[in-house]
Chain A
Amino acid sequence: MDIAWRKNVDQALAEANASGRALFLDFNAAPL
């Protein structure tokens, strides 16, 4: 299954607040 990653934390926070879902934040340094 593909993961629909977001990049904007504040937009994701607003989305979480509206939907009641938890957030998963992945801080990484993988090769770009």
Chain B
Amino acid sequence: MYPNDRVATFIAENFIPVKIHIKEQPDTFKRFGVQWTPTLLTLDSDGVERYRFEGFLPANDFLAQLALGLAHTAFAHEQWREAEGRFRSIVQDFPETDAAPEALYWAGVSRYKGGDPAALADTAKQFQSSYATTSWAKKASVWAIR
């Protein structure tokens, strides 16, 4: 299922992994509102869902999505510095993935939540030169200083 060693290592090192098969555990699919496969969920240690994505992805995109799950978990727990660091690592390590502009957006929000009032305007400026055609750039555009 996970032939890529980097993906397997990332899962093993960062998560308690659970595999749920549609034919073996249909009730668990219903419990988590899963209607398609593959669906991948990140839950925090309290069992609260923090991120999900659907569909097969190449290794780098998959890794970036897993990392988003951990970053959003830190964000939900108001661990702003950790969340910002995790989001920025995604931008740095997986710049070509769809996760990167999402991570750039949330890195800015994390920095802002952490007490830096300039973070949102800085992020909007970054989006003018990176990922400018993405929906995340549109969302950040309202933060730009005019």
Contact = CB atoms under 8 A, between A and B. Distances in A.
Contact of B47 (A3, A7, A13): A13
A32 B70 CA distance: 29
Given A5-B17, A9-B20, A17 B46 contact: yes
A23 B18 contact: yes
Interface residues of B, number: 40
Interface string B14-33: 11111111111100110110
Per DSSP, chain A at the interface is: mixed
Contacts of B5: 1
Contacts of A21: 14-16, 45
Contact of B16 (A2, A19, A30, A32): A19
Q: Which bracket fits the contact residues of A?
A: 20 to 34
A25 B21 CA distance: 11
A25 B43 contact: yes
Given A5-B19, A9-B18, A27-B20, 14 more contacts: A6-B16, A7-B24, A12-B16, A13-B47, A16-B43, A22-B42, A25-B32, A27-B28, A27-B32, A27-B41, A28-B1, A28-B37, A29-B23, A30-B1
